Amino acid sequence: MDDRDLLLKARQGDVDAYAELVRRYSEIAFQTAYLITRDAAEAEDAAQEAFVKAYYALDRFRTDAPLRPWLLRIVANQARNRRTRMSRQASLRLRVTVSSQETGSFLPSPEAAALGLEQRQLLLEALESLREEDRLVIIYRYFLELSEAEIAEALGCARGTVKSRLSRALARLRQRLAPEAQPKPRGELRSSDDD
Amino acid sequence: MTEQRWPARDEDLEAALARLREELDLPPAPDLSGAVRQRLLEGQRPARPWWAVLVTPRGRLAVTLLACALLAALMIGLWPAARSAIAERFGLPGIEIRVVASPTPAPATSTAETHATPTAPTVPGTVPAPTPVSPLFLGTEMSLEEAQRHVPFRILLPVALGPPDAVYLDETRPVSVVTLVYRPRPPEIPASQMTGVGLLVMQFQGSPDEPVFAKGVGPESVIEPVTVRNGPGYWIAGGPHILILRTPSGEWRDQQRLAGNTLLWVNRDLTLRLEGNISKETALLIAESME
């Protein structure tokens, strides 16, 4: 049964049909929430709350529109609300088990391959230091691999602006990575950026 | 420094980001369908913000009726009673908020006078040192490290303000109360007219059954529910209110000062209280920065 059939059933109050949709989108919803809150328990709560909210909002959803970005938008809103209220602001972490030598050959360019673990950590920190708006568009594109149309729906912006938003975000990320910007990648600047 | 450390081209930066995704430490995603299904079957509606009631026609009607009822109560002089009933629901762990007929503190000072005369200077450098606050019964002055050794919880500090100018620990109450004292920092944080200090930040592990503080709030005060980092709280402003302290030997009203604007809130197991002549925005900013 495809999403649309399940959706139509769910709209008529079929909770099991909706549960099947939830099962399909649990993973990406949780990951989205985690990438925003950086806390597994908060992410789970945010995703769950978002699914419940979405269920009661189903009648406002156009059935011919894609479901995934609409759900993600609700999830992201929940996650952002939670993040601003959290007392511990954790950061994303890298798994250190992956050896760069082992997988380096899959990378498309030698320059990227040269990016060692330490530098990837710096890349992550630079990403974390970006404004929420910039970080989210990068997360959607590269971590959750959404299409431009999906990103537009998830961010609630016009489709035409996704490209420019993304390139602005990448430019600012690159700025943070510039050597002169590196002495203070975190600290006071960061919290004011988040707000 | 001339070395090319970062991908020069956008495609390489994009490749680096795609690769970063593979190496992120993402916890395994749970299947939420069971929990969501359960909640829907139980008919648990999503949590709504308190103001959401205003959006529904029925909510608007209810609010309008309530407003009329309160206005009526005010006009026929039942206001203090009504406020008292509301205030009973205003407690936070360790704190109860109580309406008192007159929150005027010491008989020696009239409320009107205290509020009309700004006695403390607001110029940096001429402001009093934190020492004059010791008569405020904040306990014993000690270093932050020493206070931390005495209490079972981690003392939270407002990152927005940096380290406190003085730290007090009061162990004479049912629970240990830590107070951070900050000098005035005009214009955002002027000196308190009563105490000369800028801010007091109290924190303790409150229990709902055993209030340590009671706020005596006059009828002019505004009590506004707020949320600080997921925790419930109240912003009390706009009129004189006093602090009633509970000690093992009994309860007494703070005779030394009227409290400034106050933010009360809960952060996990801690109850916190921020007091100063500051705006609600400044108070929330400071409270949000407590780490």
* Tokens coding A13: 């109050």
- Alpha carbon distances (Å) from A150 to A40, A73, B21: 24, 10, 19
Quick one: pLDDT at residue B74? 55
Residues B255 and B217 in one domain: yes
Residues B84 and B72 in one domain: no
Residues B117 and B228 in one domain: yes
Do the chains contact at A174 and B24, CB–CB below 8 Å?
no
Residues B166 and B219 in one domain: yes
> B112 — contact with chain A (CB < 8 Å)?
no
The total of structural domains in chain B comes to 2
Q: Does domain A3-85 have CATH number 1.10.760.10?
A: no
Residues B239 and B111 in one domain: yes
A window 116-145, beta carbon within 8 A of B: 119-120, 123-124, 127, 138, 142-143
Q: Does residue A191 register a pLDDT over 60? A: no
List pLDDT tens digits, range A50-106.
999 899 888 878 877 888 999 999 999 899 888 887 776 677 776 644 444 444 444
Residues B121 and B152 in one domain: yes
Q: Which residue, of B19, B54, B76, is where some domain finishes?
A: B76
Would you say the C-alpha torsion A37, A43, A47, A53 has a positive or negative sign? negative
**Beta strands B213-217 and B95-99, pairing class:** parallel
* Tokens coding B99: 């309406």
Tell me the mean pLDDT in the region B198-221: 72
A window 28-57, beta carbon within 8 A of B: 29-31, 34-35, 40, 43-44, 47-49, 51-53, 55-56
> B49 — contact with chain A (CB < 8 Å)?
no
Q: Domain extents for chain A?
A: 3-85, 111-183
Residue B111 belongs to domain spanning: 80-288
DSSP string, B160-197: TT-S-SEEEEE-SSSS-EEEEEE--BTTTBPPPTTTS-
Q: Name the CATH topology of A111-183.
A: Arc Repressor Mutant, subunit A (1.10.10)
Residues B190 and B239 in one domain: yes
> B101 — contact with chain A (CB < 8 Å)?
no
Whole-number Å distance between alpha carbons of A21 and A16: 9
Q: Which residue, of B49, B76, B103, is where some domain finishes?
A: B76
Q: Does residue B279 register a pLDDT over 50? A: yes
As for the ipTM of the complex, it is 0.77
Q: Which residue, of B45, B60, B76, is where some domain finishes?
A: B76
Predicted TM-score of the model (pTM): 0.46
Residues B70 and B191 in one domain: no
Q: What is the mean pLDDT of chain B?
A: 69
